[in-house]
Amino acid sequence: MKIFIELRDHDEIVHREFEWVVTGNGEISDLREQIKLVFSIDQIYQQLFYNGELIRADTAVEAGLVDKDTCVVKHNMCTNWQVYIGLIKKLQDLTSFGVTEDRRKIALLARPNLSILDSSRFFLTYPSLQLIRVDIETKLGFLVHNVAKYLKRSVMAYYKQLFPNENVKIQNTPTNSAGVHLGVIVHIDNKPSFYAKTLGNIPIVEEEEFDFLNGTKVDLVEIFVYVLLNLTGLGPNDVHIIPEVSKCDMIFISTKIIDLFHTASGVSIKQMLDPSTSSTPKDVVIDAEMKLQLRIISSLLCLSDLQTNKGNFGIVEPQSVEDNENQGPRKLAVVDFGINLRLIDEEPAIFTSKIDISYLKTFLEKIDILKNIYAAREKMISDPALRNNENVNKNTFNRYFERLEKALLNFLCKT
C-alpha cells in the first residue's frame, strides 16, 4: 500500500510531498520518523491529517487509510506564522503617514512569533516562507530597530526644553569608542556637555517582567544606580531620565560629562569624544583605597564589571589642576557599569569578607549610603518620565532594593 504524504501550510498550499510505502498495518510512528527526515519536522511539532481530521490512531489501518490515499502534514507552529502574517497585514493596511507609534506597536507585537518559529525550526520546513519573512523584515524592520532615531529626537527635545536659549546639537558617539550602548553626545553652545544612551537589556528574572508589546521593561535598577552614584558623589554630577517623545514608555538616560576626568586606562574626555586624537594616555594611578571603594560598591550594588573594565571608572582632577604634572587631590568617579541581577537574592559578599570592618563602616557613613538609597529611590520614582510609566521592571527593582536595604541596616546597626 502506498500513501501520498503532502506538506501543507496554513493556507493548504502544498510545499513538498513523498510516497510512504506501508508495511504491515503501517505504524504511524514509522511515518513520523520519515516525516522528520524528509520535511525536517521534529515529531513534537508534527500534525497529521486524513480527510481533514487529526490522525490519532497508532496505525494506518486504524486511521482508515487505503492505497493511494493522501495524508496531510503540517508544522504545528503554522498558527504562529498565520498570526504574524495577520499582524503584518494589519500594519500594512494602516494609512497613517510616517513611523507612527501604532505601527511600531504592531511590529513589536508580531516579533515574538518569529522567536517561536525559529526555535521550532519552522523555516527549515518551509524555506519559501523564510523568503517572505526576509522581505517583510527588509521593508518594515525600521519600525522596530530604529531606536537611534527615537534616541536622537527624544534627547534633542529634552535638552531644547531644558536650555531654550542655548544652541543644542547632537553628535553620534564615535564608532570605535568604548561601550556597548547606543549613545549620543549633547553639545550645549558647542561644548560637549552631556552623554545620553539607551538603557541596557535586563535579564528576564520573572516571567511577568517581559512585555511583548514594548519589548524589555525599563530597567529601574540601572536608573537607580546612576542616581545613587550621583547623590553619593561617586558618579556623574547630573543624571537625567529622558522619555521617548512619542509617549511609548521607552526611556533613555543621560549624564553630565565630567570635566578633567580620565578613565583608569588613561583616556581623557577629549579622547573619548574623538578617539582619533593623537595624545599619549595619562598614567592614571588607582590607589589601594580607591580599589577598595570600587570593591565595596560593586558588591553592594551587584555591579558585574566595574572592577575589571577600566573604561567604567577613573579619576577627576580638582578644578585647579592645569596640567598632567600636578598631583593634587583626586576623586574616584564611576561613569558606567553592568548589573548582575543573579545576585539580588544573595547577601552582599563584602559583609562576609575579610575587609577592614572599621573602614567599611566609615566609608558607608561618609557617603551617607542609608539616607541616599531612600533619596535615590524617591528621586527616581517621582521623576515625570517614570511617575506614571507602567512599563518598568517594578518587581525586580523591589527585590533589588529590599536586598540592599536589609543588608545595610543589618550591618550598620550591628556595628
pLDDT at residue 180, rounded to an integer? 44
Domain with CATH 3.10.20.90 in the chain: 2-76
Contact between 324 and 383 (Cβ < 8 Å): no
What band does 325 get if pLDDT is binned at 50, 70 and 90?
very low
For residue 203, what pLDDT is reported? 35
Q: What letters, b where the CB count within 10 A reaches 16 and e where it falls short, cover 279-316? A: eeebebebeeebeebbbbbbbbbbbbebbebebbbbbb
Confidence of residue 274 (pLDDT cuts 50, 70, 90): confident
Tell whether domain 2-76 is in CATH 2.130.10.10: no
Task: Categorise residue 328: left if φ over 0, alpha if ψ from -120 to 50, beta otherwise.
Answer: beta
Confidence of residue 354 (pLDDT cuts 50, 70, 90): confident
With b for 16 or more beta-carbon neighbours within 10 A and e for fewer, the 235-261 pattern comes to bbeebbbbbbeeebbbbbbbbbbbeeb
pTM: 0.65
